[in-house]
A = this chain, B = another copy of it.
Amino acid sequence: MEPTQAAAQLRQDIRKGIHRGPTSGLAPGYVQCNIAILPRDWAGDFLRFCQANPRPCPVVAVAANPGDPCLPPLGDIDIRSDVPRYRVFRDGELVDEPEDIHALWRDDLVTFALGCSFSFEEALLADGLEIRNISEGVNVPMYRTNLPCQPAGPFRGNMVVSMRPFPAAQAIRAIQICTRFPAVHGAPVHLGDPAEIGIQDLARPDFGDAVSLRPGELPVFWACGVTPQVALEQARPPLAITHSPGHMLVTDLRNSQMAVL
């Protein structure tokens, strides 16, 4: 694969501290990833959790060894500096949001990169669909559901979903398009009545912002990358580091390479 100028340049700017904001809409065409970093003793169970729950936790890459800050399949990456903003959790509690984690790095830390909805949103936009959270300029609304994840060791919890409204024919088209992208959450997990999956009020999301739902539109729900963060909070490892929401790892992979078809 040739060097990927836009993504590599943005990542360099992030590494140097020139760019420290959200990455939504930047380096279009390139895969951005959710990040989770855990001590080796917790990494095995977390990987089992992801593999048992691939819709909310699609693993794109895992560092080859504990203490290795590189992810060669995703580009020239140093995970200690290449995310614009991190979140640090100790015993499940958020304690800091640094822009660099060199000072926290240890020889036993294992890095996970998980797929992100930005990839399939780009495919939906390219097909002419309107994505309400983008056209309304807000974060996608996310909701806790009553859909249980398969537990693995201390990692457990219900699935979190994101919601995007579409007229029925576009919902069907969105299902077709997203089915091609299992590594970035894949097809929706639900559509229609929110109460069926334990959501009481679409106007009050648990994360992100509410969006308008117009007459004739169906709410369509995708498994969401916040799910593993909720599982991390439940498991309460002594140390866990993630990206800060919206501040993703920008990779050299193209979104089209995530398509299985």
**A191 with B179: CB separation less than 8 A:** no
Residue in B167, B168, B187, B216 whose CB lies within 8 Å of A172: B187
A188 contacts chain B at the CB level, 8 A cutoff: yes
**Would you give the shortest CB distance from A168 to chain B, in whole angstroms?**
5
Quick one: CB contact mask for A181-211 with B, threshold 8 Å, 1 for yes? 0000001111111001000000000000000
Q: B191 touching A171 by the CB < 8 A rule? A: yes
SS of A interface (majority): mixed
Which of A190, A192, A216 is the most central at the interface, judged by chain B CB atoms within 10 Å of its CB? A192
Q: How many residues of A contact B (CB 8 A)?
A: 19
CB pair B168 A196 closer than 8 Å: yes
* Stoichiometry, copies per complex: 2
Using Cβ atoms and an 8 Å threshold, which residues of chain B touch A191? 168, 171-172, 191-192, 218
Which B residues are CB-close (under 8 A) to A188?
Answer: 172
Contact indicator A189/B218 (Cβ below 8 Å): no
Min CB–CB distance A192 → chain B (angstroms): 5
Give the distance in Å from the alpha carbon of A172 to the alpha carbon of B196 in the complex. Answer: 15
Please, which residues of chain B bring their CB within 8 A of the CB of A193?
A: 168, 216
Please give 7 more A-B residue pairs, beta carbons under 8 A apart, in addition to A169-B189, A176-B176. A167-B196, A168-B191, A168-B192, A168-B193, A168-B196, A172-B188, A172-B190
Binding site for B on A (CB under 8 A): 167-169, 171-172, 175-176, 179, 187-193, 196, 216, 218, 261
Q: List 11 A-B contacts (CB under 8 A).
A: A168-B191, A168-B196, A169-B190, A172-B175, A172-B191, A175-B175, A175-B176, A176-B176, A176-B179, A191-B191, A261-B261
